[in-house]
Structure formats: C-alpha cells, structure tokens
C-alpha cells in the first residue's frame, strides 16, 4: 500500500481513528509520518491518549501526584498527563512507578529494545541473554544455591565466547 500523502513510498505507519462510528484511516510512509508527526498528534490525540492511560490501574493520592516532579527539568507528572510527553531522560526515572504499568500495557514490556540491523540482532539477543543469566546468577548466590550458580556462570561464559566470536567475525 502506498503512502496517502506522497503516493510514492510504501506505507509503514497505519493509523485508524473511530469517533461516533466514523472511521478515519491514514496510511503513511516513514518519511511523511515524521514530517506530519505534529499534525497527526493533534488529529489523533496521541498525547491525550497517553495522558488518559497514564493513571489507568494506578491509584495515586491527589497530593502524591502534585509532588511528583523531575529534579532535572522541573517537569511534573501532571505535565506528562496533560501533554503526553516527558521533559527529559530523568523523567523516566522520576515517574518510573507510574510509567512502568503504562509501558507494559502499550508495548507489552517495560524495557525498550529498539531496532537493530539484522546482522547485529544475534549479538543483541546474546547480550540480553547474558544480562538475564547474570541476574539469575545473583539471585542464586543470594539463595546460596551454589550448584545452580556454577551452572549459570558456565552458561554466561559460553555465551560471552559466542558473542566475542560473532563480533570478530563481523570485523
């Protein structure tokens, strides 16, 4: 399907809005979507949607909400609810308690993985597996399950060797 705006590129962004049983669809290529981001946000109300979802399932006292403020940029949680955007990178940490359920609901995960070139995806996967195993290793050590810890340590070493080999193969 071609982009509704330029008619040249393949549409990769597909938006559907339903208001009073009236359906509006917009199919855009990545380039046109970036150019029209502000207009789309106004038309499709993305900021309002995010702000509305922000407290869905999270119980906060009114004074607790008013106290939530980023120490870096001064952005408040109410600002986020109003415009659907954060002020800076520190806001993620400041509002973590409230953002985590929102991110899980929207993305299915509270971790951002982003995109990676296909040749690097294997390295990224191995790196993620190593981090997960290291977390499990720490828990096994805390529980004094040393045989499990040794097994996890060996798995980590094996994956680190694989990652080093993949990196050297790419060079």
Residue for token pair 């929102």: 102
pLDDT, mean of residues 66-91? 82
Domain extents for the chain? 1-44, 46-112, 118-170
Residues 100, 46, 87, CA angle at the centre, nearest 5°?
A: 60
Chain segment 110-168, per-residue pLDDT in tens: 666 666 666 667 777 888 889 999 999 999 999 999 999 999 999 999 999 888 877 77
CATH code for the part of the protein at 1-44: 3.30.60
Nearest CA to 67 out of 94, 99, 48 is that of: 94
Strand ranges inside the chain, DSSP E: 13-19, 22-28
pTM listed for this prediction:
0.35
Percent of the chain with pLDDT over 70: 71
| CA-based end-to-end distance of the chain | 38
Residues 37, 15, 47, CA angle at the centre, nearest 5°?
A: 50
């Amino acid at each position: 399907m071609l982009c509704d705006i330029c008619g040249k590129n393949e549409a990769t962004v597909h938006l559907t809005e339903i208001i009073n049983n009236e359906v509006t669809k917009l199919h855009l290529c990545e380039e046109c979507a970036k150019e029209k981001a502000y207009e789309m946000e106004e038309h499709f109300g993305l900021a309002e949607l995010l702000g509305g979802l922000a407290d869905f399932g999270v119980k906060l006292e009114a004074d607790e909400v008013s106290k939530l403020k980023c120490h870096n940029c001064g952005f408040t949680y109410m600002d986020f609810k109003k415009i659907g955007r954060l002020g800076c990178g520190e806001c993620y940490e400041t509002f973590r308690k409230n953002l985590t359920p929102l991110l899980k609901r929207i993305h299915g995960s509270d971790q951002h993985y982003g995109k990676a070139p296909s040749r690097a995806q294997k390295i990224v996967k191995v790196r993620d597996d190593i981090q997960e195993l290291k977390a499990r290793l720490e828990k096994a050590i805390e529980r004094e399950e040393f045989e499990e810890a040794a097994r996890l340590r060996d798995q980590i070493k094996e994956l680190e060797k694989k990652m080093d080999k993949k990196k050297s193969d790419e060079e």
